């Protein structure tokens, strides 16, 4: 009787160990499939690493962290050249998570106006899954490219270059005529307001409705434009 009990207990231990060590690859496959089902498009491999705290978490379908790395990809109107994401307190079967820590290199955002998309240097988002504090950094050249059509319509031409200075000033010259303008937030969109009264304020960028990012402020730091706001990462990833 004792011998049979020992065999049963040993068998259960072996099965538990197999489940414990076999769980991460299965969970990684589940996460990868969930991302693709949620609309993630990438021609490059999606690297996923799932960490469990205990067998109890495994049985409950919970993970301590899910780390995701991708090359070029797009989802929900947001694209990037390289992404590093860490999701915390993850419910694997429900595809839900509580916290995020994300870095995107060369992110892009679909604009509400056809053909007008925002391209930036980097994005950092940290905090809760549905309202992560987000910081997007753009170079002066990227601001110029973003506003080229707006400059043409308001200033009658496009400047050769744009200089950015604090608190949120864009300056340059068009056909030899200097200008100064303030970049600010107006009704959820970035707008540029020239100092000259004869030049109309124009909209630089408004996120498309499919992009779960809300702009809350803008400023210039070290010659770069910094856009701050909140990103709903759970919506972005289709959770």
Tens place of pLDDT per residue across the chain (239 aa)? 332 222 222 222 333 343 444 456 666 777 777 787 888 898 888 888 888 877 666 666 778 888 999 999 999 999 999 999 999 988 877 778 899 999 999 999 998 876 678 999 999 999 999 999 999 999 999 999 888 887 787 777 788 888 999 999 999 888 877 888 899 999 888 998 888 777 778 888 989 888 999 999 999 999 999 999 999 998 998 76
How far from chain centre, in Å, is Cα 82? 11
For the record, the structure tokens of 85 come out as 């994401």
Give burial (CB, 10 Å; 0-12/13-18/19+) of 75: buried
Answer whether the bond into residue 136 is a cis peptide, omega within 30°.
no
Picking from 207, 164, 198, 196, the residue whose alpha carbon sits closest to that of residue 183 is 164
> What was the pLDDT predicted at 24?
61
Predicted pLDDT at 166 = 96
The residue ranges of every structural domain in the chain are: 2-106, 140-227
pLDDT of residue 133: 98
Order the strands of the 108-109 sheet from edge to edge. Answer: 41-42, 73-75, 78-80, 108-109, 118-119
| Beta strands in the chain, from DSSP E residues, in sequence order | 41-42, 47-51, 62-70, 73-75, 78-80, 82-91, 96-105, 108-109, 118-119, 122-128, 131-138, 163-165, 169-174, 177-186, 189-194, 202-205, 213-221, 224-231
Phi, psi for residue 191 in degrees, rounded to 5: -130, 155
Length of the chain: 239
Structure confidence at residue 198 (pLDDT): 74
Dihedral Cα 130, 134, 138, 143, nearest 10 deg = 60
**Within 10 A of 202 (CB to CB), how many other CB atoms are there?**
18
Indicate the SS3 state at residue 112: coil
How high is the pLDDT of residue 58? 66
204 DSSP assignment: E
Model pLDDT for residues 128-161, shown as the tens digit of each residue: 999 999 999 999 999 998 888 877 877 777 888 8
| Tokens at 157, concatenated | 């031409």
Of 78, 71, 145, residue with least CA distance to 110: 78
Q: Give the CA angle between residues 16, 19, 21 to the nearest 5°.
A: 110
CB 157 within 8 A of CB 147: no
At residue 60, the pLDDT reads 67
3-state SS, residue 63: strand
């Amino acid at each position: 009787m004792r011998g049979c009990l020992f065999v049963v207990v040993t068998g259960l231990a072996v099965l538990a160990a197999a489940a414990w060590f076999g769980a991460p690859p299965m969970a990684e496959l589940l996460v990868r499939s969930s991302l693709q089902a949620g609309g993630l498009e990438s021609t490059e491999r999606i690297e996923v690493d799932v960490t469990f705290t205990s067998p109890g978490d495994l049985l409950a379908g919970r993970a301590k962290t899910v780390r995701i790395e991708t090359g070029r990809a797009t989802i929900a109107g947001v694209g990037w050249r390289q992404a590093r994401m860490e999701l915390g307190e993850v419910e694997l079967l429900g595809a839900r998570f509580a916290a995020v820590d994300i870095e995107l290199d060369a992110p892009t955002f679909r604009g509400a106006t056809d053909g007008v998309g925002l391209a930036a240097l980097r994005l950092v988002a940290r905090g809760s899954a549905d309202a992560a504090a987000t910081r997007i950094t753009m170079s002066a050249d990227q601001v110029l490219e973003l506003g080229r059509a707006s400059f043409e319509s308001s200033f009658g031409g496009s400047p050769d270059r744009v200089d950015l200075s604090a608190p949120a000033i864009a300056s340059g010259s068009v056909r030899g005529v200097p200008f100064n303008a303030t970049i600010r937030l107006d009704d959820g969109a970035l707008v540029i307001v020239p100092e000259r009264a004869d030049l109309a304020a124009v909209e630089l960028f408004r996120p498309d409705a499919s992009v779960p990012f809300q702009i809350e402020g803008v400023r210039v730091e070290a010659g770069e434009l910094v856009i701050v706001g909140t990103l709903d990462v759970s919506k972005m990833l289709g959770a």
